[in-house]
A and B are shown apart, each in its own frame.
Chain A
Amino acid sequence: MANSQSLATEEIQVPALAALPALSVRDLTVAYDRQPVLWSVDYVSPSSGLTAIVGPNGAGKSTFIKACLDLVPRLSGEVRFFGEPLRKRRRQVGYVPQRSSVDWQFPVTVLEVVAMGRYGFIGWCLPVSRRHRNAAMECLEKVGMADLAGRQIGQLSGGQQQRVFLARALAQEAQIYFMDEPFAGVDAATERAVIDVLKSLDDEGKTVICVHHDLQTVADYFSSVLMLNLTKIADGPVATTLTQENIARTYRGRVHDLNLRA
């Protein structure tokens, strides 16, 4: 890690991290207003490769990510990152939310948004130092956005906004990344940038879990898949898991069946 001086304790833990699964979820159940949206999901992330979460609209894909990150309350279940609960592993967990989750009219510049990814490394109440601004700038370069660093975020195209979020996640220097539809509504240049970033994260041995809505491209970008529709339908390598049978089971209206049983 780049800032290993200040994180000596974490360096000691690194060999142990490799042995434990980046993400393990046991019996995860989430409900909004007594309406279950995820039902008893068990999941362990693969030791290598990129993972796609697929399923129909309202299947609980984003909710799965948010529940793992403690952004929505869980009814039951346990989520562990490298064997520990989130509060002990926040520095290792990066997050790219859906683009629509923030107000793009907000008066901040591209660089300021990317620097927010560094906040986990900066102590409480301390300003963003030059070192962290430079690190943020490097991340912008990786997604080809360095020349727009001073722009207000509202003046970017949708694809450029997506790349800002991606750069911000890179700035977090995490070990496991959650991305909510990074390919949604992006232009060709951004699609390439997203793929490049995913590849380099994969090469560095990071775990990446993406909500992905396009079944056609799952096999192109990802090596593993988690198929969700209220419950876990299947998970494993794309080649053996993304079968016609599993797709049919995932995209059939199972929501109703389970509601009746619940």
Chain B
Amino acid sequence: MTWMEFMQVDFPALATAILAALICGVLGNFLVLRRQSLMGDAISHAVLPGIVVGFIVAGSRSTLPMMGGAVGAAVLAGVLIELVRRFGQIEPGAAMGVVFTVMFALGVVLLEQAAAHSVDLDADCVLYGQLEDILWFEASGWWSLFDREALSGLPRELTTLAVLALVTFALLGLFYKEIKITTFDAGLASALGIPAQAFHYGLILFVSLAAIASFEAVGSILVIAMLICPAATARLITDRYGAQLMLSGLFGVGSAVFGYVAAGFVPGWFGADWALSSSGMMAVVSGVFFGIALVAGPRYGVLATRVFRAAPVPRPETI
């Protein structure tokens, strides 16, 4: 493999996967810590019709219309869930389940129609991701990273994720303390005058944006794994808030790198001439990380709590 080959084929795919996993991995913390993991599931499904409508309106896979469509769909889903919950008098989980599966189904119907009339959008790509299609033709070697002309030809998916990553991490850093208190104790935050509701909706907004920006990398279904697995893994390893955020990002990136390598290169090492799905392997690796932490985690792992009977972990009452 030459530098040129790597920079044209593997670099854009790997960088896209890493950025998607990093953003989703860190944002997923706030779903896991607020005990709203199902929300990630709901959002990533419910944005599908928005993505497709955005595509139909714009006539191409350009970022802004699809982002707009996805955010619109996420808002619609939020309103519908609230309406179903209030007027149907059913529990929130069921309301969420009804709304996001129906919206996803609507998305699938629209998607099949849109795909039939266009070569630019197909169901496989939206549902499972198409990392292999993200190419950087302008690259001629690692030096292209410093070449303005080549950089302007970076794939759209990659630049979208890079911008989203910058904005997301800038905001997470800026509102570090506010996000922490609204996540831990929304009541106290409100009493102190920090608008917990606004932060909640801001979080939902950014999860929607992350889901749409990542869907071309990992697909709209596997993005759930990227939102939940790294944060859940970190939760088994650390009891520190800062470390939790760092580790989940690290596990996300680790899943991306190992998943990509396992999918693209490992079959070749054994003489096979086929490759595995990279987005699929990313999710599998994130699951493997979780499995390892579940068994060997220092405090909450099965070995520590059941086999060695280390310091007992109190599990006090929760809401």
Contacts and interface: CB of A to CB of B under 8 A. Distances in A.
A binds B: yes
A51 B157 CA distance: 60
* Among B174, B191, B241: residue with most chain A CB under 10 A: B191
Contacts of A107: 33, 235, 238-241, 243-244
18 contacts: A100-B318, A104-B316, A105-B318, A106-B183, A106-B241, A107-B241, A109-B240, A112-B180, A116-B185, A119-B181, A119-B189, A119-B194, A120-B193, A122-B177, A125-B178, A154-B239, A154-B313, A155-B313
Interface stretch (A42-50, A87-95, A208-216, A239-247): A87-95
Contacts of A33: 86
Contacts of B314: 154-157
A86 to B, nearest CB: 9
A175 interface: no
Contacts of B316: 104, 154, 158, 161
B177 A113 contact: no
Given A103-B33, A108-B240, 20 more contacts: A33-B86, A69-B191, A70-B191, A90-B191, A95-B191, A100-B318, A101-B319, A104-B316, A105-B315, A105-B318, A107-B240, A116-B180, A119-B189, A119-B194, A126-B177, A127-B176, A154-B314, A154-B316, A156-B314, A158-B316
A9 to B, nearest CB: 16
Given A119-B177, A120-B193, A158-B316, A103 B187 contact: no
A40 interface: no
Contacts of A161: 316
B317 A100 contact: yes
Interface residues of A, number: 40
* Among A93, A100, A154, A157: residue with most chain B CB under 10 A: A154
Contacts of A127: 176-177
Contacts of B243: 107
Contacts of A66: 187
Contact of A102 (B178, B184, B239, B244): B184
Interface of B: 33, 35, 86, 174-178, 180-181, 183-185, 187-194, 235, 238-241, 243-244, 313-319
B318 A103 contact: yes
Contacts of A154: 239, 313-316
Contacts of A108: 180, 184, 240-241
Q: Majority SS of interface residues in chain B?
A: helix
Contact of A90 (B180, B192, B235, B313): B192
Interface of A: 33, 66, 69-71, 87, 90, 93, 95, 97, 100-109, 112-113, 116, 119-120, 122, 124-128, 152, 154-158, 161, 168, 172
A125 B183 CA distance: 15
A57 B35 CA distance: 27
A93 B55 CA distance: 51
Contact of B185 (A70, A101, A105, A109): A101
B177 A71 contact: no
A154 B317 CA distance: 10
Nearest to B35: A103
A152 B241 CA distance: 10
A108 B33 CA distance: 11
Contacts of B194: 119
B209 to A, nearest CB: 21
A116 B175 contact: no
A95 B185 CA distance: 12
A116 B184 contact: yes
B188 A116 contact: yes
A158 B317 CA distance: 9
A126 B244 CA distance: 21
A125 B175 contact: yes
Nearest to B240: A107
Contacts of A105: 315, 318
